[in-house]
Amino acid sequence: MQHLSDIDTAPPLQWPQPLPPEAPLPHRKVIRSWLVPLVERTTAYAVLLLCLDYLLLGTALAAAVFFKPLWLKLLSGVLAGFVVGRLFIIGHDACHQSLTPHRRLNRWLGRIAFLPSLTAYSLWDMGHNTVHHGFTNLKGVDFVWAPLTQAEYQALSPRRRLLERLYRSGWCPGLYYMVEIWWNKMMFPNPATSGGTHRPVFTRDCLLVTGFAVLWLAGLVASALATGQSVWLLCTVGFVVPVLFWFTMMGFVIYGHHTHVRVQWHDDRAAWQRAQPFVSTTVHLTFPLKIGALVHHIMEHTAHHVDMSIPLYKLKGAQAMLEHLLPERIIIQRFSWRWYFDTARACKLYDFTRQCWTDFAGRATSEPRVAMASAA
């Protein structure tokens, strides 16, 4: 059985030669063929990861109950929220059918892993797998952190403009995810927010996660009564804090995946297809201290968009292979808070005519690609 160390099992001598930066990008099928050795999935390891993360979540929530100092309770709640994020990433893989070789098992494991993040499996499948992956960074279809144009922004009401400024400030990724993704599209969405599509399974999955939330809160209430603690305090540190931390973590992650001054958006499908968006619209954010491994390598995002069937425990090796074979093609960004807030200041709106990011006043904050093409 293969393990996480598989990154080193395919020596560079066995890989194809790196593609010159000026050469045309091969078809996606060709690039995916390079990654075939890294698509193998294992059931036992996937189930082990799921069980381990549920054990970590239970431990963090128990700590929130039994620790007496408030700061330790809050810290336990934050750690629980982080583990919720880890469980979501496992569910995300299952929803892509990349966690284990078994489709039906993936559907059940995905639903189980999604419960603490209050994510409806079937709605995530439609919005993420079909829309986001099928049309990444295509304006009018992909809705994840889709930038407005200056004309669209100016047409907003004052309240909605303020909300957009908060979303794009860098300080409120959790608010964006909670309102625009989770509430509008993942919890009993109405036709206006779900594209007019409704299936009975959507309601069943929403009821499933709602029932889980009720049981979670009921367990905290019972624990508070049994230990003589404040019900409101324990529900706050054991439910509200983890969920809010999860929303913030998720909003931050998906922002970092596809927002960068070098990342393009398109409003023309033909131009979008020519741009090979599975490579050009993703960012590989790198972190110190093995933080990438702590979030199940979800930041090795180019490899994931090239081939969604690669399991999370093979993404590191797949990303390394792509970066070796496609030099200067992949956006690799070492994370720092300075870079993050510089990006938030630059990437407010998008000018599809000049193909560049702008501020809210319409001033270009990245180099216009139309000017670059004409100069060349």
> Domain limits of the chain?
4-344
User: What is the per-residue pLDDT across 321-363, written as a single tens digit (0 to 9) for each?
Assistant: 999 999 888 999 999 999 999 999 999 999 999 999 999 999 9
User: Of 14 and 154, which is predicted with more confidence?
Assistant: 154
- pLDDT by residue (tens digit) across 33-84? 888 888 889 999 999 999 999 999 999 999 999 999 999 999 999 999 999 9
CA dist., res. 129 & res. 123, Å (int) = 10
**194 — pLDDT class (breaks 50, 70, 90):** low
**Poorest-pLDDT segment among 137-141, 196-200, 222-226:** 196-200
Res. 4: pLDDT tops 50: no
The confidence band for 229, taking pLDDT boundaries of 50, 70 and 90, is very high
Rounded CA-CA distance 320/194 in Å is 36
Instruction: Note the pLDDT tens digit of each residue in 308-324.
Output: 999 999 999 999 999 99
Tokens of 100: 């284990």
125-139, 221-235, 269-283: lowest mean pLDDT where? 269-283
Whether 307 shows a pLDDT value over 60: the answer reads yes
Alpha-helical (H) ranges within the chain are 28-34, 43-66, 70-95, 103-114, 121-124, 150-154, 158-167, 173-176, 200-227, 231-235, 241-258, 269-274, 277-280, 291-294, 301-306, 315-325, 337-346, 369-375
pLDDT at 236: 98
Cα distance between residue 86 and residue 49, in whole Å: 10
- Indicate yes or no: pTM above 0.85: yes
Percent of the chain exceeding pLDDT 70 equals: 92
- The pLDDT value recorded for residue 262 is 94
Token code pair at residue 18: 């790196």
Neighbouring C-beta atoms of residue 204, cutoff 10 Å: 12
Whole-number mean pLDDT of the chain?
A: 90
Residues in the chain: 376
Please report which confidence band the pLDDT of residue 191 belongs to, taking 50, 70 and 90 as the band edges: low
Q: pLDDT tier at 219 (50, 70, 90 boundaries)?
A: very high
- Please state, for a pLDDT cut of 90, what percent of the chain lies above it: 76
